[in-house]
Structure 1
Amino acid sequence: MHRSYFLFEKQTTEITPQLLGAEIVRVFTYRKNELVFHLKGKEEFYLKISIDVNYPYFILSGFHNIRQPKLELFGPLYGETIVKAEIKPHDKQLLLRSEHYNMFSIFYGSHPNILLLDQDLNLVESFKDDLPQVVPEKDSENVFDFRTIPKERLTKLLEAEPHQKLGYFLRRHCRAINKTMAWEIIFRLNLKEDTPLSRLDGADALLNVFNQLSAEFSAQGCYLYYIEDRLQKIAPFHLRHLESTGQMVTKEFATVNEAWQRFAEEKPLSQKFNSLYKTCQQAIEKRLTYLRQSLQKLAAAQDITRFKQEAELKGNLLLTFKHRIKKGASKVVVDNVFSPQQEKIEIKLNPKLSVVENANRYFNKYKNVRERMEISKIKRQTLEKELKEIEALQEKLSGSTRLKKLEQLHRQIIERGLIQNPDAKKQKDTLYAHRFMRIILDPDWDVYVGKNDRNNEMLTFSFAHKWDVWLHAQGVPGSHVIIRVPRRDLHPPAKIIEQAARIAAAYSKARHSSTVPVMYTEARYVRRLRKGAPGAVSVQNEKVIFVEPLKLNG
């Protein structure tokens, strides 16, 4: 409703008495899309006109010192007196006329603007360089002002389109009515937007609602509608369809000017909230989709034992029928001689390999079942824990009603890397846990892996607690690994240390070795090497464990 013609009309009616006879002292701009007229009547005051496409307005405000740099415009107006102020009927064009000039404020179209014209309507100056292309609204006998239409004419229009939907009829035939006004009329009729006109049972009910709105429009007052502290709507009459929801808080103001001034101050904050909310919502939903899809893929590949049995069966069948299979075949169908049903089984072959080599390929396909199952379990635990955390963020977001709390949540989402930090270049490295690779070995034990030398430095000396367990492959370059210890009096079980050591071995230069020595100690016993490269350290009180690398991405 903040762009509704009826709001513009009511504001013009209210402020015209104060504008008439006022002297134009100067005209200037100090912020985007707003032109300020410094006026002097009985006292000095400002007329502020915004041609912002999203939030247009023209409001009066008391005179005060504006310290921001100003660009002065419309010099020929200085010293002129306003003799006329009007809004073009059913159009959002504000006309201010002085003794020798006309000022047109055009609030719609692709190029809204404020134009200074002489008495012959020749362009003298414009606020914006892009001149608007104003297309006059064509008059039509089928278009009417809801406040003045006679019953006979309305009845004729309704009878001409009995199957037309009510919502479409209102927006098509009522001058300057927008969607919000159409919804209000439909709500007061206790009907629906797609109700056919034939259900109206004549024009009386519609005329009754028109008269209600017209009376409220003519009365003093204007209304702002809030959800929590977030400003949603401004209207020159009651919006019953919003008030009936129980979610809206209504604030009544004595004048449109007072309400519109508050709207102009608060709506940008509400817009910021909505924009931030949408950004957070999209980031969370995108991550949730990824996590759920990843868990589904893991679940599909979970039955590794069954896959191994099927592969071994195919290998044995190939050896059984090796003399019947033609060389260079890409597939073969054989009877399952190991089953009482003797069902047919299709086996895909690599035509470049012999039958025996193809059989060995099937035998070796799932030879490390135990390790595969362990890796699958670790991946599942990692994904499931993050899924719970992201779902908790989603719940926090749905309960966020204040900008301050939403900004805090937005920072958390940035810390997780779900949204790119717009100020990343300006900020120093911060201790975000999500800068490191995170692996869940058990519901109680999180493992963090450095991604490079600088990341290793942050992990060990900025993120790790003194009592966390630090691990690194011995004698070779590799990632620093941390087992996060929740409390000082807790110690990771031997199994957790072994798994973390296998991860440290896998993220080192010795990842292809069959056995790798990995040292571990508490993080407090790790020291930077003086004048050493990032990530270079000396270690005390370490222990060494020999493990096979656990290649999570292998």
Structure 2
Amino acid sequence: MHNNHFFLRILAQQLRQILTYARLKQCFSQEKDELVIGFERQNGDDFWIKCCFSSQFSTLQFPSQFHRAGRNSIDLFSDLLLHEVQDVYVFENERAIGLDFLGQQTLVLKLFGNRSNVILFQEGEHVAQFQKKLSKDYELVLPELHRSIDQDFDAFEAADGDYKALYPTLGKEGAAYFDAFGYATKSLQGQWEFLQQTLENLSEPHISIVETTKGIGLTIFPIHGDALFQSQDAVEALNQFYSLHYSIGEFRREKGLLIELLTKQRVKAIHYLESLTKQQHVREVNLAYEEIGNILMAFLHLIPAGAKSVELEDFYHGGTIQIKLNPLLSGPENAENYYRKAKNYVKEIAHWQANVDRKQAEIALLGEQLGQISVAENRKQLKPFLPLLRVQTTAVADAPDLPFKQFETDGWVIWVGKNAKNNDLLTLKYAKKFDIWLHARDVSGSHVVIRNPQQRTVPKHIVEKAAELAAHFSKRATESLCPVIVTSKKYVRKTKDLLPGQVIVDREEEVVLVKPTFWE
């Protein structure tokens, strides 16, 4: 409720006493989502407002002092420097505070959750704003920020006692409070009296900071149970709220997110390892590819054209064997297909074992990390693991107009070629040398690129997801597991004698064995 209209009304009253006739001496930003506003009061004291407007958490803070960094800071709203504050107020039925300055200039602290902003108006017209990404704020007109709502008894009676229609700013906490006191069971007159008594109570600054299932909360409604902090000072309460949010609430939120993230990754790794183990068992109980090729060559005369399978004598182990065939290939071509698989079998086994070892190590590491996170009691102990939560998105210019398939997972963009010519376009024109290039090994298929303009280390699970796509969009799409080449795009080149889609890979940095999978 720290950005609720009724709390902001209390805060504005207190700020009016502090800031009236104070001069704006600094206004700057040195963090992406943070604006610092410094005032010099008539008694010579400084007063600071720090506007923290991240996508996860937006609030005001009032540090007792603030030292501007020597670098990476930028001045904002310079037209207001040395101007004197004339009034501070909350906008009618709105989550915004206005600071009027001499010269008909108004600085608005718009506290709309993840759409919070600071906007400067001159004679009621928009002049500048802090968060430039909030494009709709450019259209705001100062007088329209006041929301006039008829809130007398006649309007209440016309709304059949629906207090939300008259006071939408009471919010979810107000609704819970009204429900707890059986508002719906009261008579219309009883509801009106309860509403008026509640509004009178909210005008008195009884502020509590409490711990909820969603984190740390600030409320001006009466509470049941113990509070982490209580005060009649809105400035002091917001400072405590900011501190407790990060020391307790944010710690528990991040700890929960880390446990959820690593648990999912560990379960996925376990399932992947089980898939690898199952595939090895299938190989052990089936004939070797070379033996199947020999059987086909020995009985070419028994293979009907266009057959999807054939049952032949197994002269290696006795009895008969059912062999799958490609109906589009002749008998010798099907045998050659099995010989090719046999040729790659030794390499695939090596890659298979490498993947097994890697997954076992990954499962062990995730288990160790989960154990350390579970026993963490403060943010300092959690700090080494916080980078795991940072999902960085890569902007793709004119993405809708790109000519190939596009996928995105955990902020990483993956491109997939549509055909041979399109593969050339993707690899030779759009992909950059530090992008990751993937292709199903020894068969035709789509070129796949993981975009990496910032030259970061691509997480293994992202490589595997891209490899699944490369396997799916290849001639090995129906196989249980498919080896996929992984390398930097700088090691991929094309000579003039090659057909569309054909390239030369100078260095295979890695080969991963994955199950062909299409995901969105």
Q: For residue 3 of structure 1, give the secondary structure of its aligned residue in structure 2.
A: coil
**CA distance in 1: counterparts of 2:294 and 2:339, whole angstroms:** 6
Question: Which amino acid in structure 1 is aligned with residue 25 of structure 2?
Answer: V
Identity of aligned residues (%): 11
Change in CA separation of 1:204 and 1:384 when aligned onto 2, cut-off 3 Å: farther
Change in CA separation of 1:284 and 1:369 when aligned onto 2, cut-off 3 Å: same
Larger radius of gyration: 1
Q: For residue 6 of structure 1, give the secondary structure of its aligned residue in structure 2.
A: helix
Q: CA deviation at 1:316?
A: 5.9
Match of 2:90 in 1: 87
Question: Which amino acid in structure 2 is aligned with residue 34 of structure 1?
Answer: V
2:341 equivalent to 1:348: no
Match of 2:236 in 1: 258
2:234 equivalent to 1:221: no
TM norm structure 1:
0.50
Change in CA separation of 1:397 and 1:206 when aligned onto 2, cut-off 3 Å: farther
Question: Which amino acid in structure 1 is aligned with residue 370 of structure 2?
Answer: Q
2:26 to 25, 28, 38: 28
Give unmatched runs, 5+ long, in structure 1.
160-168, 192-198, 421-550
Q: For residue 302 of structure 1, give the secondary structure of its aligned residue in structure 2.
A: helix
2:392 equivalent to 1:387: no
Q: CA deviation at 1:238?
A: 4.0
Q: CA deviation at 1:38?
A: 1.1
Q: For residue 28 of structure 1, give the secondary structure of its aligned residue in structure 2.
A: strand
Match of 1:7 in 2: 7
Change in CA separation of 1:307 and 1:84 when aligned onto 2, cut-off 3 Å: same
2:42 equivalent to 1:40: yes
Change in CA separation of 1:299 and 1:212 when aligned onto 2, cut-off 3 Å: farther
Q: CA deviation at 1:8?
A: 0.8
2:140 equivalent to 1:134: yes
Match of 1:292 in 2: 271
Q: For residue 37 of structure 2, give the secondary structure of its aligned residue in structure 1.
A: strand
Question: Which amino acid in structure 1 is aligned with residue 26 of structure 2?
Answer: F
Q: For residue 217 of structure 2, give the secondary structure of its aligned residue in structure 1.
A: strand
Q: CA deviation at 1:185?
A: 4.1
**CA distance in 2: counterparts of 1:98 and 1:375, whole angstroms:** 70
Q: CA deviation at 1:259?
A: 0.6
Q: CA deviation at 1:258?
A: 0.7
Query: Would the aligned equivalents of 2:52 and 2:61 in 1 still touch at CA under 8 Å?
Result: no
Question: Which amino acid in structure 1 is aligned with residue 88 of structure 2?
Answer: A
Q: For residue 383 of structure 1, give the secondary structure of its aligned residue in structure 2.
A: helix
**CA distance in 2: counterparts of 1:347 and 1:126, whole angstroms:** 70
1:179-223 alpha-carbon deviations (Å, 9 max, x no partner): 45445544x2579xxxxxxx7575578657646743542333312
Q: CA deviation at 1:282?
A: 3.9
TM norm structure 2:
0.53
Aligned pairs (5 A) from 1:359-398 = 380=356, 383-384=359-360, 386-398=362-374
**CA distance in 2: counterparts of 1:87 and 1:138, whole angstroms:** 9
**CA distance in 2: counterparts of 1:95 and 1:114, whole angstroms:** 10
Q: For residue 221 of structure 2, give the secondary structure of its aligned residue in structure 1.
A: coil
Give the total of aligned pairs: 376
Question: Which amino acid in structure 2 is aligned with residue 307 of structure 1?
Answer: N
Query: Would the aligned equivalents of 1:375 and 1:552 in 2 still touch at CA under 8 Å?
Result: yes
Change in CA separation of 1:411 and 1:261 when aligned onto 2, cut-off 3 Å: closer
Q: CA deviation at 1:279?
A: 6.8
Aligned residues: CA RMSD:
5.6
Match of 2:219 in 1: 235
Change in CA separation of 1:406 and 1:99 when aligned onto 2, cut-off 3 Å: closer
Query: Would the aligned equivalents of 1:25 and 1:39 in 2 still touch at CA under 8 Å?
Result: yes
**CA distance in 1: counterparts of 2:58 and 2:351, whole angstroms:** 59
**CA distance in 2: counterparts of 1:65 and 1:318, whole angstroms:** 83
Give unmatched runs, 5+ long, in structure 2.
391-409, 412-510, 515-520
**CA distance in 2: counterparts of 1:182 and 1:173, whole angstroms:** 13
**CA distance in 1: counterparts of 2:49 and 2:147, whole angstroms:** 31
Q: For residue 308 of structure 1, give the secondary structure of its aligned residue in structure 2.
A: coil
**CA distance in 2: counterparts of 1:65 and 1:349, whole angstroms:** 74
1:492-533 alpha-carbon deviations (Å, 9 max, x no partner): xxxxxxxxxxxxxxxxxxxxxxxxxxxxxxxxxxxxxxxxxx
Query: Would the aligned equivalents of 1:302 and 1:376 in 2 still touch at CA under 8 Å?
Result: no
Question: Which amino acid in structure 1 is aligned with residue 3 of structure 2?
Answer: R
